Structure 1
Amino acid sequence: MKSLFPNKVILALGLLALTACEDFLVEEPKTQLTEAQVYGSEENIRLLVSGLYTQWRNTKQDRGGFMFTLGTDEAKQGGQQVRENNVQAALDKYNGALNASNTSLAEQWNKRWPVVAAAAKAVYYANTDDIKAQASFIRATLNFELAMLWGPIPIIDLEDMHEARQPLPAVFASIVRDLEFAVEHLPDTQTDKKIPTKSAAEALLGKVYLYAPEESGLRDYSKALSYFDRVIPKHALLPVYADLFNTTLDQNSSESIYAFQFENIWPDNNMAQHHAGSRAVADLDNNTYFGGYDLILPTAYCYQNREDGGIWEPGDTRRDVSIRYDFTLPDGREPTITWTGMQDELEPHIKKYEDERTQGVQNFWYSGGNIYYLRLSDILLCKAECLNELGQTAAAVDLVNSTVRTRAFGGMLPAEYTWPASMSTEEFRAQVLDERMRELCFEGWRRMDLIRTGKLVQLVGERNPWAQAEGALAAYHMRYPIPESEIKQNDQINEEDQNPGY
Structure 2
Amino acid sequence: MNMKTFYSKALKYTAALLLCTATAGCTSFLDEKTYSFVSGDDLYTTAANAELALTGVYDILNAGAIQGTGNQPLWGRGMHYLMMLGDEIAPNGISDPHHQIIASCGYNEEADFVSMAWFGLFVGIDRANHIIQKVPAIDMDPKRRDEIVNEAKLLRGLYRLYQAWLWGEVPLPNTPNSSAEAPREPLDKVYACIEEDLDKAYKELPDRNSNVNGRVNKWTAGGYLLKMYTYLASCKENRVGRELGSPTNSFDWVDAEACWKKAAAIAEDIYAHSGYKLIKPYHYNFLADTKSSQKEECMMVVQTGAGGSNEYFLFAYWAGPQGNVGTNGGGYGWIRPTGELSDKYVTEDSRMGWNLCGSLGNNVTDYTTINGAKYFSPVALYASGANLCHGKFRQSDPAVRTSQGIPTWASNIDFPMLRFADIVLLYAEALYKTGDESLARELVEEVRERACTDTDGKLNESALNAMNSAYYKTDFMEELLDERSRELCVEGWRRIDLIRTGKMTEVIGNMKTVNDAGNKYYYFAPQMEPIKNNYKPYKIWMPVPKREREVNKNLSQNPGYTQTI
TM-score, reference length from structure 1: 0.83
In the alignment, does 2:168 pair up with 1:151? yes
CA offset at residue 477 of structure 1?
0.9
Q: Aligned match of 2:201 in 175, 179, 182? A: 182
Query: Which of 179, 200, 209 is the aligned partner of 2:220?
Result: 200
1:130 aligned residue: 147
Contact 1:353–1:367 under 8 Å retained in 2: no
Letter in 1 for 2:78: G
Q: Is the 8 A contact 2:267 2:427 kept in 1?
A: yes
The reply to whether residue 321 of structure 1 matches residue 354 of structure 2 is yes
Cα distance between partner residues in 1 of 2:365 and 2:302: 34
Tell me the equivalent position of 2:333: 294
Three-state SS of the structure 2 residue aligned to 1:409 is coil
Is contact 1:321-1:352 (8 Å) kept? yes
State how far apart, in whole Å, the 2-side matches of 1:20 and 1:407 are: 43
Alignment of 1:291-440 (within 5 A): 291-302=330-341, 304=342, 310-331=343-364, 346-358=386-398, 362=402, 364-401=408-445, 403-410=446-453, 411-413=459-461, 414-418=464-468, 424=474, 427-440=475-488
Q: Which amino acid in structure 1 is aligned with residue 390 of structure 2? A: I
CA offsets 1:245-270 (integer angstroms, 9 cap, x no match): 34322244321211112238994332
Report the CA distance between 1:397 and its aligned residue: 0.9
Q: Note if contact 2:304-2:414 (Cα within 8 Å) is conserved in structure 1.
A: yes
Q: Matched residue of 2:61: which SS?
A: helix
Displacement, 1:198? 0.8
**2:500 is equivalent to residue 489 of structure 1:** no
User: Cα distance, 1:294 vs. partner?
Assistant: 2.4
Residue 88 (1) aligns with residue 127 (2) = no
- 1:165 and 2:208 matched: no
Q: Matched residue of 1:373: which SS? A: strand
What RMSD, in angstroms, separates the aligned Cα atoms of the two structures?
A: 3.1
Partner of 1:140 in structure 2?
157
Q: In 1, distance between residues paired with 2:384 and 2:317?
A: 16
State percent identity of aligned pairs: 24
Q: Deviations over 1:159-213 (max 9, x none)?
A: 9967310100100010000011111221111232231111111111111111124
Instruction: Note the C-alpha offset of 1:358.
Output: 2.6
Amino acid at match of 1:39: Y
Corresponding residue SS for 1:434: helix
Would the alpha carbon gap of residues 190 and 141 (structure 1) be closer, same or farther in structure 2, given more than 3 Å must change? Answer: same
Give me the whole-angstrom Cα distance separating, in 1, the residues matched to 2:58 and 2:431: 34
Alignment of 1:33-48 (within 5 A): 35-48=40-53
> What SS is found at the alignment partner of 2:418?
strand
Distance 1:221 1:419, change over 3 A: farther
In the TM superposition, what is the alpha-carbon distance from 1:421 to its structure 2 partner?
A: 12
Query: In 2 relative to 1, CA 428–146 (structure 1 residues): closer, same or farther, beyond 3 Å?
Result: same
Contact 2:79 2:117 in 1 (8 A): no
Deviation at 1:50, TM superposition (A): 1.2
Match of 1:53 in 2: 58
More helix by share: 1
Pair 1:499-2:549 in alignment: no
SS in 1 for 2:304: coil
Q: Secondary structure at the match of 1:312?
A: coil
Q: Which runs of 5+ in 1 are unaligned?
A: 22-28, 305-309, 334-342
The Cα shift of 1:423 comes to 5.6
Structure 1 residue 137, shift from structure 2 partner: 0.9
Amino acid in structure 1 at the alignment position of 2:77: R
Structure 2 counterpart of 1:4: 6
Contact 1:65 1:272 in 2 (8 A): no
- After TM superposition, list the pairs within 5 Å mapping 1:197-236 onto structure 2: 197-212=217-232, 213-214=235-236, 215=251, 217=254, 219=256, 220-233=259-272, 234-236=275-277
After superposition, the Cα gap between the structure-2 partners of 1:373 and 1:379, relative to the gap in structure 1 and judged at 3 Å, is same
Distance 1:153 1:404, change over 3 A: same
- Counterpart of 2:5, as a letter, is S
- Does structure 2 retain, via aligned residues, the 8 Å contact 1:398–1:421? no
Gaps of 5+ in 2: 22-33, 64-72, 137-144, 237-250, 367-382, 454-458, 513-524
Instruction: Give the Cα separation in 1 of the matches to 2:166 and 2:277.
Output: 31
Deviations 1:315-374 (A, max 9, x none): 1011122222253333379xxxxxxxxx99943112222122436764642321111011
CA distance in 2, matches of 1:501, 1:200: 35
Distance 1:107 1:294, change over 3 A: farther
Q: Which moved more, 1:43-52 or 1:445-454?
A: 43-52
8 Å CA contact 1:235, 1:254 repeated in 2: yes
Cα distance in 2 between the residues matched to 1:41 and 1:218: 44
TM-score (norm 2): 0.75
Which of residues 467, 491, 494 in structure 2 aligns to 1:446?
494
The Cα of 1:442 is off from its aligned counterpart by 1.1
Instruction: Map Cα deviations across residues 483-502 of structure 1 (whole Å, 9 max, x no partner).
Output: 10111222431xxx100000
> CA 1:359/1:329 → structure 2, altered by over 3 Å: closer, same or farther?
farther
SS class of match (2:13) = coil
C-alpha distance in 2 between matches for 1:124 and 1:387? 39
Q: 1:87 to 1:227 in 2, by over 3 A?
A: same
Q: How many angstroms apart in 2 are the aligned matches of 1:364 and 1:318?
A: 27
Distance change in 2, residues 1:251/1:14 (3 Å): farther
Q: Residue 92 of structure 1: CA displacement?
A: 3.7
For residue 295 of structure 2, give the secondary structure of its aligned residue in structure 1. coil
1:270 to 298, 301, 313: 313
With 44-53 and 129-138 compared, the bigger mean Cα shift is at 44-53
1:461-476 matches, within 5 Å, as 461-463=509-511, 465=525, 466-469=527-530, 470-476=532-538
Q: Contact (CA 8 Å) 1:153, 1:164: kept in 2 or not? A: yes
8 Å Cα contact 2:284/2:294 also seen in 1: no
Verify the 8 A CA contact 1:247 1:357 in the aligned structure 2.
Answer: no
CA shift for structure 1 position 77: 1.8
Inter-CA distance 318–481: structure 2 relative to 1 (3 Å threshold): same
Worse-superposed segment, 122-131 or 477-486: 122-131
| 1-structure distance, mates of 2:161, 2:120 | 15
